[in-house]
Amino acid sequence: MDLPTFWFLAIAFLFVGYFVLEGFDFGVGVLMRTFGRDQAERRLLLNTIGPVWDGNEVWLITAAGSMFAAFPHWYASVFSGFYLPMLLILLALIVRGVAFEFRGKRDDAAWRARWDWAILCGSLLPALLWGLIFANVVRGVPLAADHEYAGGLADLLNPFALLGAATFAAVFVLHGAVFVALKTTGEVRDRANRLAARFGPVAVALLLGFLAWMLVGVRRDPAAIGVGSAAAVAAVAALGANRVRREGWAFAGTAAAIGLTVVALFAALHPALLPSTGDPAGTLTVANAAASAYSLKIMTVVAGVFLPLVLLYQGWTYWVFRKRLSLTR
């Protein structure tokens, strides 16, 4: 395997980790205001993700940094073509992080309510926009021969991308509901389980529709079809596990469905990085967008030293905070 292909796979792995882990805390953030009936329940939901949400965002920072260093042309085209969605994601994540810290600074119901709405919006907006971005990346966007984005905002709001936005948001909410059921006890656990049972079929239907459209109508790739089919099976299995109150298996199912969907996206994309729907010469590929061999070698050495340490630390964090939480009023 050459180094550009290795780093394409490494970036895919980083985005899998990001969406699997950040996906459930996006889901919990959306449920903060809508599922939590009072301040005690909302505090409980916040406590389920409190120790891990900021660590989950490290995956995004590492993925973006890897794109910049390994495929600078890809990074430049994506971040310029999707400038507005990326900016909105950044602002939403900032507001969300501030809200997590500030909502408990004052013992005032109106103060907390405003920050709860900020958490909801700061969780829902990135979920929608990541779906919009990744659907457009795999579908392709208008690129000139010099790889510059040649379209406008309207080009990004196509039906396939809008379905991707709805799918990502719905599956993350399902992932979050299953996580709440996994991490809590008593009435909150029961209600989260029922919510996942009611909302799950909607989320899975959207996921199946998105995968079918991507793998049949956008990119027909045998490997991607196999992985996408596995994602569909995992999503359906998660609903079955949730129905029999096996939250651990249900969470594993939603995590597998999200991870395999991201793998299917990258498999359908390869060897392209950003297909051009305009001038075919504008298509960015693993070969024509890669950094120098020397840069990739340095990156590989650094990743080999530090990535295992990061994985061990994050695994230790999840192990320490693995116990269920109870509601206290």
116-127 mean pLDDT: 95
Question: Is residue 320, in this structure, part of any structural domain at all?
Answer: no
- Read off the tokens for 143: 């690129």
Question: Is residue 229, in this structure, part of any structural domain at all?
Answer: yes
63-98 pLDDT, tens digit per residue, is 999 999 999 999 999 988 899 999 999 999 999 999
Between CA 124 and CA 26 the distance in angstroms is 7
pTM: 0.94
Confidence band, pLDDT 50/70/90 cuts, at residue 212: very high
- Read off the tokens for 22: 């950040």
pLDDT (0 to 100) of residue 329: 61
285-302 pLDDT, tens digit per residue, is 999 899 999 999 999 999
Instruction: Inform me whether the pLDDT recorded for 40 exceeds 90.
Output: no
User: Which candidate, 328, 325, 241, places its Cα nearest to that of 52?
Assistant: 325
Q: Which domain holds residue 182?
A: 7-280
153-197 pLDDT, tens digit per residue, is 888 999 999 999 999 999 999 999 999 999 999 999 999 999 999
Question: Is residue 308, in this structure, part of any structural domain at all?
Answer: no
- CATH number for the domain spanning 75: value is 1.20.1630.10
Number of domains in the chain: 1
Between CA 241 and CA 196 the distance in angstroms is 11
Instruction: Inform me whether the pLDDT recorded for 55 exceeds 90.
Output: no
Instruction: Inform me whether the pLDDT recorded for 220 exceeds 90.
Output: no
